[in-house]
C-alpha cells in the first residue's frame, strides 16, 4: 500500500468519525445546549439531530460535589457531561452543623430534590450546580435553625419546612426548580447535649405521667362521690315513693269505707221505709255489726 493511499484512508476514517459524531440522539427528559462560534445557538430536545462539525459544539456541564451513598459513606462525585437532565434529581448531602436560638449545637440531615426547567439559563448562569445548591441549603438551614429552639426542632421538624421555599426563591433565577427539601433527622451536636436532652425528656415524661395520674385520681374520686350522691338520691326517692304509696292506700281505704257506709245507710233507710219495724230492727242490727267489726 502506497503512502498516499494510507493517508487517504486515514483522512476518510477521520471524516467518517466526524460525520458520525455530528449526529446526536437526545433521549426523553434530556436536552443539549449547542453553541456556534462560542455563542448560544439552540437547544436540542429529545429526538435525532445533526450539528455542523467544527462550527457547532455542545456546551458541557461540570459537576463536582460530596454526596452520601446508601451505606452512609461520603463520596466525591465529579462528572462533565454534554447532556442536561430535566428529570427531578435527589441529592443527599452530609449533615450540616447549626446553632439553635438557645445556642445549642445540632446536626441537621436533609435531602433536596431539584430539576432544571430552563437549561439555557442554567448552563450559562452557574457552574457546578449541585455544589452551589448544597452551600445555599447549608446557609438556609443555619438561618432557620437560628430562629428556633432545639427542643422544638427535635420534637417536630416541620418548622424547618420553610427551607424549601426559601431555597427555591434563590435558585429560580438560574432556571432551576426546588421540588422539596426534606429534613430526615435533627440530632444534638455533642454526646453531652444528647445526654442532657434525654434527661430533660425523661423528666418531662415523668411530669406528664404525674399529671395523668392526678387527673385519673381526681376523676375516680369525682365518680365515687357522684355514685354515693346518686345512691342517696335514689334511696330518698324510694322512701318518698313508698310514703306516697302508703298515703294513697290509706286515703283509698278511707274512701272505700265511707262509700260502704253510705251504701249501708241508704239500704237501711229504704228497708225501714218499706218494711216492718221488726225488719227495720234487723237491718239496723246488721248495719251495726258490719260497721263495728
| Distance between CA atoms of residues 116 and 105, nearest Å | 34
pLDDT of residue 31 exceeding 90: yes
Instruction: Indicate the range of 42-46, 149-153, 281-285 predicted with least confidence.
Output: 281-285
Q: Which helix (H) or strand (E) holds 253?
A: helix 191-274
| Distance between CA atoms of residues 144 and 195, nearest Å | 24
CA angle 1, 17, 82 (to 5 degrees): 155
pLDDT in tens, 243-292: 878 888 787 778 777 777 777 677 666 766 665 555 555 555 555 555 54
Residue 279: the pLDDT is 53
Is pTM beyond 0.85 here?
Answer: no
pLDDT in tens, 155-193: 766 777 788 888 999 999 999 999 999 888 888 867 776
Give CA torsion, residues 229, 234, 235, 239, to 10 deg.
140
pLDDT in tens, 45-57: 999 999 988 899 9
pLDDT in tens, 182-233: 888 888 867 776 666 666 666 666 777 777 877 877 787 777 778 788 778 8
Residue-averaged pLDDT of the chain: 81
Distances (CA, A) of 91 to 26, 78, 100, 137, 146: 24, 14, 24, 11, 24
Which whole number is the average pLDDT over 17-45?
90
Burial of 226 (0-12, 13-18, 19+ CB in 10 A): exposed
Quick one: how far is CA 28 from the chain centroid?
A: 35
- Each as own residue / partner, the long-range contacts of residues 26-29 (CB below 8 Å, 24 or more positions apart, any chain) are 26/83, 29/85, 29/86, 29/87
Residue 281: the pLDDT is 52
Residue 275: the pLDDT is 54
Amino acid at each position: 500500500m502506497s503512502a498516499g493511499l494510507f493517508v487517504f484512508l486515514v483522512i476518510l476514517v477521520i471524516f467518517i468519525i466526524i460525520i458520525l459524531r455530528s449526529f446526536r440522539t437526545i433521549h426523553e427528559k434530556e436536552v443539549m445546549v449547542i453553541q456556534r462560534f462560542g455563542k448560544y445557538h439552540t437547544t436540542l430536545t429529545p429526538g435525532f439531530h445533526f450539528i455542523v462539525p467544527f462550527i457547532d459544539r455542545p456546551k458541557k456541564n461540570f459537576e463536582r460535589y460530596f454526596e452520601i451513598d446508601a451505606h452512609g459513606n461520603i463520596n466525591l462525585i465529579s462528572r462533565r457531561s454534554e447532556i442536561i437532565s430535566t428529570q427531578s434529581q435527589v441529592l443527599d448531602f452530609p449533615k450540616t452543623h447549626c446553632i439553635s436560638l438557645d445556642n445549642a449545637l445540632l446536626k441537621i440531615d436533609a435531602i433536596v430534590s431539584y430539576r432544571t426547567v430552563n437549561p439555557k439559563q442554567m448552563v450559562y448562569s452557574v457552574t457546578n450546580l449541585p455544589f452551589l445548591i448544597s452551600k445555599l441549603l447549608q446557609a438556609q438551614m443555619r438561618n432557620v435553625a437560628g430562629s428556633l429552639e432545639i427542643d422544638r426542632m427535635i420534637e417536630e421538624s416541620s418548622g424547618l419546612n420553610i427551607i424549601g421555599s426559601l431555597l427555591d426563591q434563590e435558585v429560580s433565577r438560574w432556571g432551576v426548580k426546588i421540588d422539596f427539601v426534606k429534613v430526615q433527622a435533627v440530632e444534638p451536636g455533642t454526646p453531652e447535649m444528647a445526654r442532657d436532652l434525654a434527661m430533660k425528656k425523661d423528666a418531662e415524661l415523668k411530669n406528664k405521667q404525674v399529671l395523668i395520674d392526678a387527673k385519673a385520681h381526681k376523676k375516680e374520686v369525682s365518680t365515687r362521690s357522684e355514685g354515693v350522691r346518686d345512691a342517696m338520691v335514689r334511696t330518698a326517692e324510694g322512701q318518698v315513693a313508698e310514703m306516697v304509696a302508703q298515703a294513697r292506700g290509706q286515703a283509698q281505704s278511707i274512701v272505700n269505707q265511707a262509700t260502704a257506709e253510705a251504701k249501708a245507710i241508704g239500704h237501711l233507710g229504704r228497708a225501714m221505709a218499706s218494711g216492718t219495724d221488726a225488719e227495720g230492727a234487723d237491718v239496723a242490727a246488721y248495719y251495726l255489726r258490719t260497721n263495728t267489726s
